[in-house]
A and B are shown apart, each in its own frame.
Chain A
């Protein structure tokens, strides 16, 4: 799966995107966050406050309980602040 990060999350993770093989038991966005946090302290720091995280699967905004299913890209970012 392709992971993309924006803004504060991108800076904390240290890359703007990466490819990672997701374990079979990681089924939802929330599972993915927990799995990444267990992989490296950078993710734990980037995802420390779940209330300040938003997600998109294949460029559609989704909630944390959304299933990864056949999606190819998961974006993780803070609440938006444009305009």
Chain B
């Protein structure tokens, strides 16, 4: 079972977990990214490259499914304007045992950060906005999975 989606509508972790619960495995893992209440930030805005971004996510899901023999994998990313406190991304995995589910889940979010075509802007309470810069620490985490 594999589901990859990009949506402008609000997303919920429970949506993803419901899809993975009854696949016969003994382990479910998930990561949820939330628009963080950094100082002055009222909303995020996520932009993507229609076509390419879907393929980026699909390729990551395929890699995770094969590398950890997953029973299921869900990747849902929201785009457009997202208020602080709302969900931005959900990654969830189902496997026979916890090690595969947890590792695959970490792989998916670490590599999504560096390999999927999304760009994030922060909207501040005073009406200004600024693009978020990519972080070297994210590259280092993603590279660990290439060793």
Contact = CB atoms under 8 A, between A and B. Distances in A.
Interface string B99-122: 000000000010011111111110
Give the interface size class of chain B: 20 to 34
Contacts of B114: 80
A26 interface: no
A81 B118 contact: yes
Contacts of B121: 7
A56 interface: yes
Nearest to A60: B52
Given A7-B131, A78-B131, A83 B118 contact: yes
A82 B118 contact: yes
A7 B47 contact: yes
Contacts of A75: 49, 52
A79 interface: yes
A83 B112 contact: yes
Interface string B118-130: 1111000000000
A4 B52 CA distance: 12
A81 B119 contact: yes
Closest A-B pairs by Cβ, 6 of them:
A82-B118, A79-B134, A7-B119, A59-B52, A83-B113, A81-B120
Interface string A57-78: 0011000000000000001011
B89 A6 contact: no
Contacts of B49: 4, 6, 56, 59, 75, 77
Contacts of A6: 47, 49, 117, 119
Interface of B: 33, 46-49, 51-52, 55, 77, 88-89, 109, 112-121, 131-134
Contacts of B48: 82
Contacts of B113: 80-83
A8 B122 CA distance: 12
Given A56-B49, A59-B55, A83 B89 contact: yes
A77 B117 contact: yes
Contacts of A80: 113-119, 134
B29 to A, nearest CB: 16
Given A81-B120, A83-B113, 8 more contacts: A6-B47, A6-B49, A78-B134, A80-B114, A80-B119, A81-B118, A82-B117, A83-B77
